[in-house]
Amino acid sequence: MRIQGREDSWITKYPKGIFSICWRLIQDGKMNQEDENTFRGIDDWFKEHLPEPEPCKNGEKVITFFKTETTDEMQKMIAPAVRLLDKYAYPYDVVYTNFVGTIVYEDEWQIAVRVDNGAMI
C-alpha cells in the first residue's frame, strides 16, 4: 500500500509519496506551525520505528510501499498526515498493487522497489 500524490518526483518520475508531499507543503510555507509540528512528530516516529532503506538514503531511484500484512498498523500511524493532506486540499491516492517490480529492500513493515523513468522495473 502506498499513499501518493499526483505530482511526480523529479528523481523517480513517479508520483511523490506522502512524506515528500508533506515536506513540500512545509518548504513552500503552506503548512502552519502547529501542523508542521504534527507532521514532524509523525516523521520522527517513523524514523525511530522503521529503518530508512539504504537505497533511499543513497538517493537511488526507488519508491516505498507498506506491506499489506502491516498496512492497518501503518495507516493508524500515518492517518494524521493524511488528514493534513485533506486540510490543505492536496490530492492523493491510496494505491494497492499486486505488482511492485524489483524489490531492492525489505523489512517487516515496508519494501522499496526500483523505478526507471516513472515505471516500476
- What Å distances lie between residue 62 and 19, 26, 49, 76, CA to CA? 14, 23, 20, 24
Task: Give the cell for residue 64.
Answer: 516505498
Summarize pLDDT for 54-107 with one digit per residue, the tens.
Answer: 998 898 899 999 999 988 888 999 999 999 999 999 999 999 998 888 999 999
Q: 13 pairs with which residues across the strands?
A: none
Look at residue 121 in the predicted model and tell me its pLDDT.
84
pTM exceeds cut of 0.95: no
Between CA 17 and CA 77 the distance in angstroms is 15
Furthest-apart CA atoms within the chain: distance in Å: 39
